[in-house]
């Protein structure tokens, strides 16, 4: 992608002198505009205001052809990001870019020929004083000198590079498709074979097309964080940390993907001549471009490798498999590795008449092709399931927006196509299948085989265990442990010193307790890996968090963290009972919380009734105490960084206990990214300075606490606030009601007006203080606690809360959801446009 410097060019040697002479002359009066009286001639360049970009003439590498283009001026090497006359090179050295005064048009001519090699559209005379200006974003615009709106802009006509601030996708009104099309070759910028574009039909998707319009690769629909099929690496720095912020916007006018730089970081996306799209970031310390992401990147990435009703598994061989309940359509060619015919159903669907169909869960999916799919942002997964069962064409459903806690869904109205499963990341897809029992002969066989295999597996494991025990004469803790036998003692010892007991579990104990990590025992998928319920032989229930392998932490560090965290003892923190290390596996064992998490009560109409105001207030106080302890009284000063309703667990008496504390320490404390669908921090709970600058402090936890407080009072999610069209989120809604003094409106209807008005007022006041834009305006937890309990609190005036994540006025904010034009009417995102 990084093209070589333009000169010296053999044909141009004689002009070098002139070139440098002119460069010199014009660098003195570097300007970023051309006007009718000051055109741009060969050898001159426009330099954007801060010197980021240059616009001028360059020679394509290994070629004599010259072009008008834009490149990064402030980086060495000439990274060309835009070419005006990509189809018509300049053979004559004397070219000029001019602007016509009377009809406002840019045109590129060569000496002695008045026919333009390239020109922008022209605009009527009503635009006085037209100028062409190179902006510091790399956008070359045509506008009226005293106006801020553009008549024409190069950002609407990208070549092979997407810059921060550009939009990728069709404008349905003007018909302009902003796509990025590769150069034909490294020495020829004319449009090449491959294009990265947004496909608007069905639920919009990111795709790479070839010259005849066939899809090479499909990034899939936007899932709130990224494109479903762009793979885990697309989140390089997660679009959140420093590097860039990205989003996707769907309206009846336009559909586009965009990203913006954060701070000084610069990232671009390019399309190359061989069909690979890449994202690069500028590495300032090394003065070079770093590759962040690319697609397609493996055989499963190519469009529909496995045909319909099949899935591609990149980590196994062969890579293609029929979905459960399907057989190869053409078994002979399938077994030869020609998968193009895909698979067919073994048993026909019941199709509604009896309502007997079932759904099979495919975890870790890249969502299948959504050309024939519809999205409905109002339904939850149960609603989706019901809707799918109502229509015989429906084949599958999945959550449409993971950033909103799984709100909205996509429903497939055609056979599953281009499905792949990821070892890590991906999302849940529910595929409709005929009722089990039909075609069950085959199933039973599978079950029998599976049981035999399991038994064999256990026998072999057992034999291995016994052999290793014999050899080492020691407990089987896993290899590393055997090599450092002292550490078990050490843990016991130190643990006791801190007045806590931390147990070292054997892997076999954990396997037995969880039925070998069976799905039935799975409680859920936390940010750092799955959580299982287990039962110890003495009957005690435990919860086991199986940390994903990528914690990036060495054994020694892990051990130290556990020792530290085990010392944190507070009645509002979930108690760590012990851990287990086995090879690469690291597991944490916690006390089991029978009432699961707060969100299950808070955001559920029926369960919400179980939380009366007294309980809610106790929960608020408990969480505040737990947080205060983490921030202040524990010797460690832990910043939780992911406080949210689903991380508040409830014991049998509904006492709140904060969970997942210390995880940010166990995972690399800087940028813990555990599950690819998740970053440390959750949208809706993240403070502005953390979300945009990666800065965190105890005040970021205070912000999350404020959001949680409002959620507990209102029973509504901050992220997921669809019902109230005129407010962008819960914070804005609460703020408006606070100003009006109408808090009754805010309180969860489940409370049926049974609440202490003064307590609610205090809670909302404190919450609004906690969610202030500036960390300095937020209280610390000790103040929060005293304010919550202070009956004679005096409500001084407060500033409006931060609405950062919801607004998009400056274009630099991140949208939280697939923007639906009119969510209040439940309009589906199913935009149909002609190809
Ligand atoms: C370029 O312009 C210069 C001066 O205007 C002229 O002398 C020269 O012949 C021109 N070159 C070509 C190839 O037209
Ligand atoms: C003038 O330029 C146009 C466009 O590049 C080209 O088609 C035409 O042949 C040129 N005419 C002459 C006389 O060179
Ligand atoms: C721009 O300047 C022209 C005259 O130079 C004036 O007529 C016009 O109103 C100005 N437009 C704006 C938006 O200021
Ligand atoms: C890319 O956009 C251009 C300009 O809007 C359009 O003519 C072209 O068909 C698009 N190409 C693809 C492959 O979408
Ligand atoms: C594209 O493929 C050709 C032939 O394999 C290779 O020479 C060229 O370097 C590739 N281009 C890029 C940008 O990777
Ligand atoms: C994909 O392959 C890997 C390695 O063979 C296996 O562990 C995993 O279970 C497979 N995934 C699915 C969904 O079949
Ligand atoms: C794979 O099978 C399809 C249809 O059966 C056939 O059209 C295609 O040529 C085969 N491809 C290869 C590489 O054999
Ligand atoms: C519906 O159920 C009846 C009997 O319960 C069965 O005969 C019929 O085949 C079923 N229909 C479908 C479409 O499965
Ligand atoms: C089922 O879905 C298809 C495709 O969206 C639609 O044309 C059809 O009317 C639907 N049928 C029913 C009964 O809703
Ligand atoms: C989405 O597009 C609409 C209409 O163009 C605009 O009002 C809104 O601000 C955009 N949102 C984002 C996040 O870009």
Assess if residue 60 is contained within a domain.
yes
Question: Contact, 608 vs 602, CB < 8 A?
Answer: yes
Instruction: Identify the three-state secondary structure at position 184.
Output: strand
Q: Over range 622-628, report the average pLDDT.
A: 94
- CB of 358 shorter than 6 A to ligand 5: no
* Average predicted confidence (pLDDT) for the chain: 80
Distance in Å, CA 94 to ligand 1 centroid: 6
- CB of 822 shorter than 6 A to ligand 10: no
What is the residue range of 364's domain? 301-433
User: Strands 396-401, 277-283: parallel, antiparallel or unpaired by DSSP?
Assistant: unpaired
Q: 650 and 788, same structural domain? A: yes
**pLDDT, position 272:** 95
Question: Within 13 A of 822's CA, how many CA atoms are on the CB side?
Answer: 4
Instruction: Give the closest residue (by CA) to ligand 5 atom 13.
Output: 272
Q: Ligand 6, closest atom to CA 421? A: 13
Residues whose beta carbon lies within 6 Å of some atom of ligand 3: 128-129, 146-147
pLDDT in tens, 540-560: 899 998 887 665 566 777 777
Ligand 6: residue of 298, 310, 313, 427 to mutate (most ligand atoms within 8 A of CB) is: 313
Q: 647 and 558, same structural domain? A: no
- CB of 92 shorter than 6 A to ligand 1: yes
Distance in Å, CA 189 to ligand 5 centroid: 15
pLDDT in tens, 677-689: 334 556 678 877 7
Distance of CA 284 to the CA centre of its chain: 25
Residue 246 φ/ψ, nearest 5 degrees? -125, 165
Q: 552 and 614, same structural domain? A: no
Q: Which ligand is located closest to the Cα atom of residue 350?
A: 8
Residue with tokens 């006359």: 85
- CB of 333 shorter than 6 A to ligand 7: yes
Q: Which ligand is located closest to the Cα atom of residue 337?
A: 7
Q: CA 29, 34, 39, 40 torsion: positive or negative?
A: positive
Q: Tokens standing for 346?
A: 């073994």
Q: What is the DSSP letter of 455?
A: H
Distance in Å, CA 592 to ligand 7 centroid: 54
Assess if residue 136 is contained within a domain.
yes
Q: Ligand 1, closest atom to CA 111? A: 14
Distance in Å, CA 388 to ligand 8 centroid: 19
Q: 676 and 743, same structural domain? A: yes
Q: Ligand 10, closest atom to CA 254? A: 5
Instruction: Give the closest residue (by CA) to ligand 7 atom 1.
Output: 338
CATH of the domain at 566: 3.30.200.20
CA distances from 323 to 303, 404, 416, 501, 742 (A): 17, 28, 10, 47, 54
Residue 474 φ/ψ, nearest 5 degrees? -140, 170
Q: Which ligand is located closest to the Cα atom of residue 277?
A: 5
Residue with the bigger pLDDT between 464 and 834: it is 464
Q: From the CB of residue 21, how many other CB atoms can be counted at a distance below 10 Å?
A: 12
**pLDDT, position 657:** 95
Residue with the bigger pLDDT between 450 and 174: it is 174
Nearest to 712, CA basis, from 601, 572, 593:
601
Q: Which ligand is located closest to the Cα atom of residue 193?
A: 4
Distance in Å, CA 392 to ligand 9 centroid: 8
- CB of 251 shorter than 6 A to ligand 10: yes
CATH of the domain at 709: 1.10.510.10
- CB of 253 shorter than 6 A to ligand 10: yes
- CB of 144 shorter than 6 A to ligand 10: no
What is the band of 707 on the pLDDT scale with cuts at 50, 70, 90? Answer: very high
Question: Contact, 733 vs 727, CB < 8 A?
Answer: yes
Distance in Å, CA 66 to ligand 2 centroid: 15
pLDDT in tens, 105-137: 999 998 888 889 999 998 877 778 899 999 999
Question: Contact, 747 vs 769, CB < 8 A?
Answer: no
Q: Ligand 4, closest atom to CA 197? A: 14
Residues whose beta carbon lies within 6 Å of some atom of ligand 9: 391, 393, 413
What is the count of structural domains for the chain? 5
Assess if residue 93 is contained within a domain.
yes
Instruction: Give the closest residue (by CA) to ligand 5 atom 14.
Output: 274
Top mean-pLDDT range of 5-9, 300-304, 565-569 = 300-304
pLDDT at 237 over 80: no
What is the band of 618 on the pLDDT scale with cuts at 50, 70, 90? Answer: very high
pLDDT at 488 over 70: no
Q: Ligand 8, closest atom to CA 356? A: 14
CATH of the domain at 58: 2.90.10.10
pLDDT at 620 over 60: yes
Q: 18 and 115, same structural domain? A: no
Whole-angstrom distance, CA of residue 592 vs CA of residue 576:
10
Instruction: Give the closest residue (by CA) to ligand 8 atom 2.
Output: 354
Q: 792 and 705, same structural domain? A: yes
**pLDDT, position 578:** 87
Residue 613 φ/ψ, nearest 5 degrees? -60, -40
Q: 673 and 585, same structural domain? A: no
Q: 57 and 146, same structural domain? A: yes
pLDDT at 406 over 90: no
Instruction: Identify the three-state secondary structure at position 16.
Output: helix
Q: Over range 573-589, report the average pLDDT.
A: 86
Domain boundary, last residue among 433, 461, 482: 433
**pLDDT, position 442:** 55
Instruction: Give the closest residue (by CA) to ligand 9 atom 3.
Output: 393
Q: Tokens standing for 770?
A: 């906690």
- CB of 322 shorter than 6 A to ligand 6: no
Specify burial of residue 17 (Cβ count, 10 A radius: 0-12, 13-18, 19+): exposed
**CB within 8 Å of 633: residues ≥ 6 apart:** none
Assess if residue 283 is contained within a domain.
no
Distance in Å, CA 317 to ligand 6 centroid: 9
Instruction: Give the closest residue (by CA) to ligand 3 atom 14.
Output: 146
Distance of CA 370 to the CA centre of its chain: 19
What is the band of 834 on the pLDDT scale with cuts at 50, 70, 90? Answer: very low
Instruction: Give the closest residue (by CA) to ligand 7 atom 3.
Output: 340
Ligand 7: residue of 340, 342, 343 to mutate (most ligand atoms within 8 A of CB) is: 340
What is the band of 503 on the pLDDT scale with cuts at 50, 70, 90? Answer: confident
Known catalytic residues are 642
Q: Ligand 2, closest atom to CA 116? A: 4
Q: Over range 385-403, report the average pLDDT.
A: 89
Q: 416 and 347, same structural domain? A: yes
Assess if residue 527 is contained within a domain.
yes
Q: Which of 388-392, 460-464, 586-590, 738-742 is least confident?
A: 460-464
Whole-angstrom distance, CA of residue 154 vs CA of residue 94:
23
Q: Ligand 4, closest atom to CA 177? A: 5
Assess if residue 466 is contained within a domain.
no
Q: 699 and 618, same structural domain? A: yes
Residue with tokens 């902003």: 178
Edge-first strand listing for the sheet containing 419-421: 320-322, 310-313, 419-421, 358-366, 427-433, 396-401, 407-412, 373-376
Domain boundary, last residue among 126, 157, 188: 157
Q: Over range 298-322, report the average pLDDT.
A: 92
What is the band of 468 on the pLDDT scale with cuts at 50, 70, 90? Answer: low
- CB of 315 shorter than 6 A to ligand 6: yes
Top mean-pLDDT range of 433-447, 683-697, 812-826 = 683-697
Assess if residue 241 is contained within a domain.
no
Question: Contact, 411 vs 394, CB < 8 A?
Answer: yes
pLDDT at 242 over 80: no
pLDDT at 491 over 70: no
Q: Ligand 3, closest atom to CA 144? A: 1
Instruction: Give the closest residue (by CA) to ligand 2 atom 4.
Output: 117
- CB of 763 shorter than 6 A to ligand 6: no
Q: 747 and 677, same structural domain? A: yes
Nearest to 516, CA basis, from 470, 453, 454:
454
Q: Which ligand is located closest to the Cα atom of residue 435?
A: 8
Ligand 9: residue of 393, 414, 828 to mutate (most ligand atoms within 8 A of CB) is: 393
Distance in Å, CA 812 to ligand 10 centroid: 11
Q: What is the DSSP letter of 824?
A: G
Assess if residue 266 is contained within a domain.
no
- CB of 581 shorter than 6 A to ligand 6: no
- CB of 61 shorter than 6 A to ligand 5: no
Q: Over range 618-630, report the average pLDDT.
A: 93
pLDDT at 785 over 80: yes
- CB of 421 shorter than 6 A to ligand 6: yes
Whole-angstrom distance, CA of residue 3 vs CA of residue 21:
24
Distance in Å, CA 532 to ligand 6 centroid: 20
- CB of 273 shorter than 6 A to ligand 5: yes
Q: Tokens standing for 162?
A: 């997407």
Residue with tokens 């496909």: 199
CA distances from 355 to 160, 248, 386, 642 (A): 50, 36, 10, 41
pLDDT at 103 over 60: yes
Q: 764 and 620, same structural domain? A: yes
Domain boundary, last residue among 539, 570, 591: 591
Question: Contact, 200 vs 835, CB < 8 A?
Answer: no
Whole-angstrom distance, CA of residue 543 vs CA of residue 514:
9
**CB within 8 Å of 445: residues ≥ 6 apart:** none
Question: Contact, 70 vs 63, CB < 8 A?
Answer: no
């Amino acid at each position: 992608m990084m093209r070589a410097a333009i000169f010296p060019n053999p044909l141009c040697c004689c002009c070098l002198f002139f070139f440098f002479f002119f460069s010199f002359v014009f660098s003195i009066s570097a300007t970023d505009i051309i006007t009718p009286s000051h055109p741009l001639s060969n050898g001159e360049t426009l330099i954007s205001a801060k010197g980021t970009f240059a616009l001028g003439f360059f020679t394509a590498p290994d070629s004599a052809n010259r072009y008008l283009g834009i490149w990064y001026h402030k980086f060495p090497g000439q990274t060309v990001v835009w070419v005006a006359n990509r189809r018509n090179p300049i053979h004559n050295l004397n070219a000029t870019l001019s602007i016509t005064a009377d009809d406002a048009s840019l045109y590129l001519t060569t000496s002695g020929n008045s026919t333009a090699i390239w020109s922008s559209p022209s605009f009527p005379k009503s635009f006085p004083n037209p100028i062409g200006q190179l902006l510091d974003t790399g956008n070359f615009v045509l506008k009226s000198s005293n106006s801020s709106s553009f008549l024409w802009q190069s950002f609407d006509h990208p070549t092979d590079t997407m810059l921060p601030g550009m939009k990728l996708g069709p404008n349905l009104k003007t018909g302009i498709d902003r796509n990025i099309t590769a150069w034909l070759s490294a020495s020829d910028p004319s449009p090449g074979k491959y294009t990265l574009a947004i496909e608007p039909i069905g639920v919009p998707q990111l795709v790479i097309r070839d010259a005849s319009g066939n899809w090479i690769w499909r990034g899939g629909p936007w899932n709130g964080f990224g494109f479903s099929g762009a793979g885990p690496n697309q989140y390089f720095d997660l679009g959140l940390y420093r590097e860039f912020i990205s989003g996707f916007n769907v309206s009846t006018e336009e559909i586009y993907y965009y990203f913006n730089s954060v701070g000084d970081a610069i990232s671009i996306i390019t399309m190359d001549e061989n069909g690979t799209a890449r994202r690069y970031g500028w590495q300032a310390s090394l003065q070079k471009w770093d590759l962040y992401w690319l697609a397609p990147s493996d055989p499963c990435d190519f469009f529909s490798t496995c045909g319909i009703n099949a899935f591609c598994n990149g980590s196994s061989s062969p890579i293609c498999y029929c979905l459960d309940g399907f057989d190869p359509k053409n078994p002979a060619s399938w077994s030869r590795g020609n998968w193009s015919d895909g698979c067919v159903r073994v048993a026909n669907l019941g199709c509604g008449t009896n309502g007997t169909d079932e759904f099979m869960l495919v975890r870790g999916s890249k969502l299948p092709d959504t050309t024939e799919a519809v999205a409905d942002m109002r339904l939850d997964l149960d609603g989706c399931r019901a809707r799918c069962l109502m229509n015989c064409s429906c084949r599958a459903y999945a959550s449409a927006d993971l950033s909103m806690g799984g709100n909205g869904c996509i429903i497939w109205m055609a056979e599953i196509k281009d499905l792949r499963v990821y070892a890590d990341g991906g999302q849940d897809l529910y595929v409709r299948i005929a009722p089990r029992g039909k075609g069950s002969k085959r199933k039973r066989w599978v079950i029998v085989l599976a049981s035999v295999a399991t038994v064999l597996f256990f026998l072999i494991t057992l034999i291995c265990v016994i052999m290793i025990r014999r050899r080492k004469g020691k407990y089987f803790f896993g290899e590393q442990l055997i090599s450092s036998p002292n550490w078990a003692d050490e843990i016991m010892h130190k643990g006791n010193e801190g007045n806590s007991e931390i147990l070292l579990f054997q892997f076999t104990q954990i396997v037995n307790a969880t039925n070998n990590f069976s799905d039935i025992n799975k409680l859920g998928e936390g940010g750092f890996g799955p959580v299982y319920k287990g039962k110890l032989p003495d009957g005690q229930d435990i919860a086991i968090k199986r940390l994903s392998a990528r914690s990036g932490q060495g054994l020694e560090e892990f051990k130290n963290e556990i020792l530290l965290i085990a010392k944190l003892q507070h009645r509002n923190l979930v108690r760590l009972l012990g851990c287990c290390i086995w090879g690469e596996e690291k597991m944490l064992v916690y006390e089991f919380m029978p009432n699961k998490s707060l969100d299950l009560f808070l955001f559920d109409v029926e369960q919400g009734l179980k939380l009366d105001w007294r309980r809610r207030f106790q929960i608020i106080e408990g969480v505040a105490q737990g947080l205060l302890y983490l921030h202040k009284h524990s010797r460690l000063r832990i910043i939780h960084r992911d406080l949210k309703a689903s991380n508040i667990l409830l014991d049998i008496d509904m006492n709140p206990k904060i969970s997942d504390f210390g995880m940010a320490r166990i995972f690399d404390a800087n940028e813990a990214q555990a599950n690819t669908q998740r970053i440390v921090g959750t949208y809706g709970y993240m403070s502005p300075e953390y979300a945009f600058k990666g800065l965190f402090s105890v005040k970021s936890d205070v912000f999350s606490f404020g959001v949680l407080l409002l959620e507990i009072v209102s029973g509504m999610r901050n992220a997921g606030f669809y019902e109230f069209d005129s407010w962008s989120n819960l914070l804005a809604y609460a703020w408006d009601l606070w100003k009006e003094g109408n808090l009754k409106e805010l309180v969860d209807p489940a409370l049926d007006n049974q609440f202490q008005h003064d307590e609610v007022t205090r809670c909302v006041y404190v919450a609004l203080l906690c969610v202030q834009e500036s960390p300095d305006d937020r209280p610390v937890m000790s103040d929060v606690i005293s304010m919550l309990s202070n009956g004679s609190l005096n409500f001084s005036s407060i500033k409006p809360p931060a609405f950062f994540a919801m607004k998009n006025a400056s274009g630099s904010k991140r949208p939280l959801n697939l923007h639906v034009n009119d969510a209040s009417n439940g309009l589906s995102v199913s935009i149909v446009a002609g190809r």
